[in-house]
């Protein structure tokens, strides 16, 4: 989960355009800015047609690069969903509420942030490191046990959801919203 990607086309182990093509085919929708020495019009057209959101040739101005990234992030934030629904859970980012089968569930701000990450990534395995970076702005060194505590709290608050367990623990890796 990234806010934006800056992609160079001259990668040491392959072509950046092939990587971009694979990302888009797999459903990766985050904004991608190509930053490369390839400056021919044909290269720019191909990059944009394969799914890049912007294209900047080297040499470049750092100020222009930053302005283009800000522009990508503005456009991306306008597109993000405000309501996520999964297995009877409805998370509303604007109202900052969570409902299960119509019943309001009381969550702390940290529990809400944790659930939001999972609702935005249903079915994806989220590593402990990624979760901690998003919820605590750290790498989990001090928050490892804290993450387990919050996952336990979330599980207990969503026991009402019918069917198989909502969260799956992948020992030594992270968690997954099923």
DSSP 96-131: TEEEETTEEE---HHHHHHHHHHHTTTT-EEEHHHH
The β-bridge relationship of strands 103-105 and 83-86 is: unpaired
Q: Is 42 helix (H, G, I), strand (E, B) or coil?
A: helix
Q: What is the average per-residue pLDDT within 84-99?
A: 89
CATH architecture of 5-79: 3-Layer(aba) Sandwich (3.40)
Q: Are 57 and 39 in contact (CB under 8 A)?
A: yes
Q: Please state, in angstroms and as integers, the Cα–Cα distance from residue 5 to each residue in 43, 53, 68, 123, 148, following that order.
A: 18, 10, 12, 22, 30
Mean pLDDT, all residues of the chain: 86
Q: What is the average per-residue pLDDT within 82-90?
A: 88
Question: Which pLDDT belongs to residue 130?
Answer: 85
Q: What is the average per-residue pLDDT within 97-125?
A: 91
Output the six-digit token pair for 32: 């991608």
Q: How confident is the model at residue 138 (pLDDT cuts 50, 70, 90)?
A: low
Q: How confident is the model at residue 24 (pLDDT cuts 50, 70, 90)?
A: confident
Which CATH topology does 83-177 take? Arc Repressor Mutant, subunit A (1.10.10)
Q: What is the average per-residue pLDDT within 93-106?
A: 88
Give the domain ranges of the chain.
5-79, 83-177
Determine what percent of the chain is predicted with pLDDT higher than 90: 40
């Amino acid at each position: 989960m990234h806010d934006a990607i800056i992609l160079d086309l001259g990668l040491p182990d392959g072509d950046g355009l092939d990587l971009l093509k694979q990302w888009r085919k797999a459903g990766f929708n985050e904004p991608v800015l190509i930053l490369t020495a390839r400056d021919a019009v044909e290269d720019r057209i191909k990059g944009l047609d394969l799914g890049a959101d912007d294209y900047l040739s080297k040499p470049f101005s750092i100020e222009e690069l930053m302005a283009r990234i800000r522009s990508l992030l503005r456009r991306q934030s306008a597109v993000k969903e405000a309501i996520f629904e999964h297995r009877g859970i409805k998370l509303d980012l604007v109202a900052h509420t969570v409902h299960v089968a119509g019943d309001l569930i009381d969550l702390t701000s940290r529990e809400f942030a944790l659930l939001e990450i999972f609702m935005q990534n249903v079915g994806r395995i989220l590593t402990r490191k990624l979760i901690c970076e998003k919820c605590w702005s750290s790498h989990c060194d001090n928050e490892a046990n804290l993450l387990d505590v919050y996952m336990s709290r979330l599980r207990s608050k969503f026991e009402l959801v019918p069917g198989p367990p909502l969260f799956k623990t992948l020992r030594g890796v992270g968690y997954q919203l099923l």
